[in-house]
Structure 1
Amino acid sequence: MDTKTRIIEIATKLFQQKGYIGVGLSEILKACNISKGSLYHHFPNGKEELLIACLESLNDVITQDIENIFNQYPTTKEAINAMIDQLIVHFETEGTIAGYTFSSIVSEMASLSEPVRHACSLLYAKMQSIYTNKLVEDGFSTEAAESLALTMVATVEGGMMLCLTQKSSFPLKTISLVVPNLLQEFQN
């Protein structure tokens, strides 16, 4: 793995665990075992540029996972349940789902930095697009699919944050029971 990729990987974990403000540059340098010059060589604009690279990396990983799951199942109901089940298993075995959510970074930085807000917005838009496309395949109108997709993104993201704060998978388990009913209601 090259140095830049390693920096992004390590910094992503640190940002997810401690937030942008909670992670100092010296902590990133120490965890990556690099000099300040090496960091600025790869990220000339510093910590914020590194955060954006981390968000872009998360975008790739998270959306690829979602697309893989959604491509395996014939309906949105089956796909969303499989995705939520995967999140639950990850939470119950690892004790966290930090690798799948970046909400803490959004709440901390999106109002302070337009480039960070934009990077976060792109990830949410990509997630919503995956859900919308699957819902349209299921026969929902584009308008209904877009509304449902927005609701699904907000619900799953909120469920992950509740799992982390409650130290319980109960919120996602509840969501996995409710979302299919929501889909059914929209189809009627």
Structure 2
Amino acid sequence: MATKGDLTKARLAESMLELIQSSGYSGTGLNAVIEHAAAPKGSIYFHYPDGKEGLGVAAVDLAAAQFGALIAEAVDAADSVPDAVRRAIDALATIVGGSDFRLGCPVSVVTLEMGAESERLREACAAAFSSWIGPTAALLESGGIGAEEARSLATVVVSTIEGAVIVSRAMKTTQPLSAAADVIAGLLEQRLPQDGGAR
């Protein structure tokens, strides 16, 4: 059972994640996190002794887990590999559009803002992207694509989705995500062996 301290620590990471999505990493101050999380003032340095950087890593790890869960749900509900990818992108489009394009991928935000400034944050972001590429590659392998090609294609899929999220936010339309879904699904249908996409 989670302790009160565990719940506070988790709440701080969740608040940091939400604020990074809406305000960016650099635009998120620790006082804003404390206020958003309704946490005691000294709680950040108690739970995250290295301050904002440690809290940023926790937020990136949380984002990785959340998108990983979204991928898993899409795979479970899909009847083919291309359908799984479409479902995952549709779920992302719902999140992005439903937030009036205020929310995007916090991992890409942290990468762009801090990747050259903090090796620890860069490594956390790299690990997050790898945690999405790995299951996507496994999904493609399950459809009959060889391991090396599956890894390469999975990297393209994740990179394309990340770019589409950014463009969707800039243009305030989910059309770039819909276009990405169409192109990725078409690409996978071409690459998958006959009936390899069926699940």
Q: Please, what TM-score do these two structures have when normalized by structure 1?
A: 0.91
Are 1:90 and 1:97, in contact at CA under 8 Å, matched by a contact in 2? no
Query: Aligned residue for 1:40?
Result: 45
- Counterpart CA distance in 2 for 1:34 and 1:87 is 29
Matches within 5 A, 1:1-188: 2-96=7-101, 98=103, 100-187=105-192
In the alignment, structure 2 segments of 5+ residues that lack a partner are 194-199
- Counterpart CA distance in 1 for 2:142 and 2:170 is 35
* Residue identity opposite 1:31 in structure 2: H
In the alignment, structure 1 segments of 5+ residues that lack a partner are none
Question: Cα–Cα, structure 1 residues 90 and 24, in superposed 2: closer, same or farther, change >3 Å?
Answer: closer
Percent identical residues: 28
What do the CA deviations read for 1:26-81 (whole angstroms, capped 9, x no partner)?
Answer: 22233333444221111111110011111111111111111121132242201001
* Residue identity opposite 1:57 in structure 2: L
- Counterpart CA distance in 1 for 2:102 and 2:31 is 26
- Counterpart CA distance in 2 for 1:70 and 1:108 is 31
CA-based RMSD of the aligned residues comes to 1.9
Farther off after superposition, 21-30 or 155-164: 21-30
- Report the secondary structure of 1:154's partner residue: helix
- Report the secondary structure of 1:102's partner residue: helix
- Counterpart CA distance in 1 for 2:191 and 2:182 is 16
- Counterpart CA distance in 1 for 2:125 and 2:192 is 30
Task: From the two aligned structures, give the one with the greater helix fraction.
Answer: 1
Structure 1's consecutive aligned runs of 4 or more residues displaced over 6 angstroms after TM superposition are: none
Are 1:144 and 1:186, in contact at CA under 8 Å, matched by a contact in 2? no
- Counterpart CA distance in 2 for 1:34 and 1:143 is 46
- Counterpart CA distance in 1 for 2:39 and 2:97 is 34
In the comparison of the two structures, how many residue pairs are matched?
A: 188
Q: Please, what TM-score do these two structures have when normalized by structure 2?
A: 0.86
Are 2:161 and 2:180, in contact at CA under 8 Å, matched by a contact in 1? yes
